[in-house]
Structure 1
Amino acid sequence: MNNMINATEKLFYKDPYLCQADCEVEDVIEKDGKYEVILKSTPFYPEGGGQPSDIGYMDNIKVEYVYEKDEVIYHVMSEKPRNKIVHCEADLERRIDHNQQHSGEHLMSAAFFKLYNGVNAGFHLGEDYVTLDIKIKDMTEDMIKKAEMEANYYVFKNEPVKTYFVTKEEAEKLPLRKAITAEGKIRMVQMGENLDYSACCGTQVRRTGEIRIIKIVKWEKNKGMTRIYIKCGLRAFKDYITKNDYVTEIARGFSVEDSEIINKVKSQTDEIGNLKKKISTLYSTIAQNEAEQLMENSKDKYIIKEYKEEGFDFLDKLYEHLKNEEYILILTSLKDNRLLFAHNGSFAIECGKLFKEKLKEFGGRGGGNAKRAQANFQDTDSMRSFTEYLKENALN
């Protein structure tokens, strides 16, 4: 590359919605099977400041990625443009989305700072969410709701958003919510007269009302801070549509109004919990009766039984009623293709050791201790073959 190449003119700073322009090619570098095109000016925003790059087309050739190094912007493409003057077209829908998300993040951060003095320590604009790491360890739901309301109040005020360059000394005289670490020219984003002042290289809306709405969709503790997930503008609207469809479908299923869903779900959850307890008690009774029947019918020291309809949870309950009795147990569930092998400790058989030595030969997976081992199999035939092995070898 020619070392005399000047800094790329950033057309997107003149107009945050400018996505088309005819630009002059200054250099093309072939690198790693791609072409990196340098233009004298560009409408393509390069990745940086937590914001992904623009994508789009240059003379109908796809621009896959854009990055900046030493004030020069590189457009990564799979094909080399042929013309000296090229028509650039960045994805406008993507730019609008990024403008809304990035400006929404500024206002959300401003709200946490104003209400709780919580500084934003990190920001990421992803495909689904925008995340903010606020330096508040013990965030409450009430704090979240108040900050969300405050940020949307800033949106509804529809304040102007200004961007300009200042020196670091000039920037430090402004009411910043976060200290500046960069040197040289500082790009300042000012929202309203006193809503927010932040150093930022990303694209923004022209007025706060263009963000439309800011919605916190979830929050969690993260490295001694609180990570906030937000969606703004069209993303928030699409999220509302999806969740409203869920609510409508659930309400229809319960035959209740939307406002009654929570009470209905709580009522049914309690009812299901009570039924589970009753079923568990009944299942234990059935297992106890089955255990007594097995002991009564056993003519030797072995209890070997295959269950077609019952799952492994029934074998577990059955074991609880037999574990102290003097029998060697081989219980299998055809429903789950799982096997239980156990005894009360009075036999010279190490169940876990036997499984470790032989189980893989039968395609099984599992293990256990000296008195009990269990395994699952890919198919019933493999499990039955292992059962036969236990009968012929372990029980003699």
Structure 2
Amino acid sequence: MHKLYYLDAYLKQFQARVIKQELDNDGKWYIVLNETVFYPTGGGQPHDIGELEKEPVIGVEEVDGEIRHYVSKPLDSDDLVHGSIDWERRFDHMQQHAGQHLLSASFADLFNLETVSFHLGKEVSTIDLHTPDLSEAQVKEAVQLANNIILENRPIKTKWVDNDELRHYRLRKTTSVTKDIRLVIIPDFDYNACGGTHPKSTGEVRVIKVLNWERQKKNIRIKFVCGNRVLNQFDKKQSVLLALTDLMSAPELDLVHVIKQRLVKEKELEKSLEKLKEELLSYEAKELLSSDELVIGRTYEDRSIKELQKLAQIITGQAPKCTVFFVSKNENRLQVVAARGKESILNCKEPVLAALPIISGKGGGSESLIQGGGDALTSSSEFLEHILERV
């Protein structure tokens, strides 16, 4: 853990001396200062952004023991420079990171569940708990405990210790660092080695809300928000809720019931529609069979492969000696379906595969049923003729 970026988590502006300005191996400019308040990416927390002499700092990384401030071009000054961070982003990160400590400590304290990873996202943060299962009751209890600690407004302290001093603290998670260990302490609740930025008290986190959770390999991933992000999430969800109440003409508490009813009716209508489509296909098949043709070839516009397959199956089912070839133009594509009845001796696969190169197409199936498609490089009627010539 590097001490340079711990001047003060609440320091929004500072002055520092430029140590060097160089290009890295990827050709990107970076600046190294003798001290900084910019937080570099690490520990699941993104880097700070801001300015150095009004030049935007677009990335901050710790490389080989130095903190590199990435900029699009070098600074004019090589000596003392003025820096400022994006405070709104910094404080948001402070809230989320402290909230993660509270949430992780709550799961550890109540259910002995270890947090194995943490990610502070742009809108939502996550922790992975080392457990295959998690109940809603457990989540509610952990969130309640974390929010109670927030209401108590306990101080959040930091302290630098070495490996020998660690034995005086009940750490939530062991650390592999042996010197310059930075502890983040919430008295009588959480002791954790951490390099992130945090507010001075739990009250500044304001509130924690778990949004949902899911299985992630052998762990459970919890998505949560803290502080101002809770209000942002509430605003978004409230907008959606108000829109739904208007669309469904129902009060909020009845929405689930009303939507379920609508979904049931929709499924019933879909079934009725499918039944009507099958009846129409049956009538269409009957009309096609009235011509007494043993080889039926037809062209269509905007008919799906699935629908043409059903029509072909109905025809060949009712007329086992019959073979059908259907071609449909769908936008800039030509699609073909071919099928034969059980008593037909024709191979419907060979003529289709032989004709498909004309439209740069591909197909697959058997001698009894095949489908394919390609670009509309010719008309559907001409393509059908190419197929029938090979029958």
Q: Match of 2:58, SS?
A: strand
Name the residue aligned to 2:299.
306
Residues 1:139 and 2:97 are matched in the alignment: no
Q: Match of 1:237, SS?
A: helix
Residues 1:343 and 2:340 are matched in the alignment: yes
Q: Could you give the per-residue CA deviations for residues 148-187 of structure 1, whole angstroms, max 9, x where no partner exists?
A: 3332232232221111111223224322221222221211
- 1:122 deviation in Å? 0.9
Bigger drift between 240-249 and 227-236 goes to: 227-236
Residues 1:186 and 2:216 are matched in the alignment: no
For 1:385 and 1:148, how far apart are their aligned partners in 2?
68
Name the residue aligned to 2:313.
320
Which residues of 2 match residues 21-170 of structure 1 at below 5 A?
21-31=14-24, 32-83=26-77, 84-170=79-165
Provide structure 2 residue ranges, at least 5 long, that are not aligned to the other structure: none
For 2:176 and 2:144, how far apart are their aligned partners in 1?
30
Distance 1:152 1:360, change over 3 A: farther
For 1:68 and 1:286, how far apart are their aligned partners in 2?
70
Q: Could you give the per-residue CA deviations for residues 241-277 of structure 1, whole angstroms, max 9, x where no partner exists?
A: 1111111101101111111111111000011111112
Name the residue aligned to 1:287.
281
Q: CA RMSD in A?
A: 2.3
Q: Match of 1:132, SS?
A: strand
- 1:129 deviation in Å? 2.2
For 2:156 and 2:287, how far apart are their aligned partners in 1?
81
For 1:242 and 1:134, how far apart are their aligned partners in 2?
27
Distance 1:370 1:141, change over 3 A: farther
Number of corresponding residues: 384
For 1:189 and 1:8, how far apart are their aligned partners in 2?
15
Distance 1:8 1:391, change over 3 A: same
For 1:68 and 1:125, how far apart are their aligned partners in 2?
18
- 1:135 deviation in Å? 0.4
Could you tell me the TM-score, scaled by structure 2's length? 0.90
Distance 1:348 1:318, change over 3 A: closer
Q: Match of 1:10, SS?
A: helix
- Residue identity in the other structure for 1:320: Q
The percent identity for this pair of structures is 31
For 1:269 and 1:310, how far apart are their aligned partners in 2?
27
- Residue identity in the other structure for 1:90: I
For 2:209 and 2:386, how far apart are their aligned partners in 1?
62
For 1:334 and 1:357, how far apart are their aligned partners in 2?
19
Q: Could you give the per-residue CA deviations for residues 294-349 of structure 1, whole angstroms, max 9, x where no partner exists?
A: 2122x321122334465444323323323432211122444575321111353342
Distance 1:79 1:334, change over 3 A: closer
For 1:319 and 1:274, how far apart are their aligned partners in 2?
26
For 1:355 and 1:305, how far apart are their aligned partners in 2?
14
For 1:355 and 1:103, how far apart are their aligned partners in 2?
66
For 1:156 and 1:367, how far apart are their aligned partners in 2?
66
Bigger drift between 317-326 and 48-57 goes to: 317-326
In the alignment, is the contact (CA less than 8 A) between 2:8 and 2:37 conserved in 1?
Answer: no
For 1:103 and 1:355, how far apart are their aligned partners in 2?
66
In the alignment, is the contact (CA less than 8 A) between 1:339 and 1:383 conserved in 2?
Answer: no
Could you tell me the TM-score, scaled by structure 1's length? 0.89
Residues 1:374 and 2:368 are matched in the alignment: no
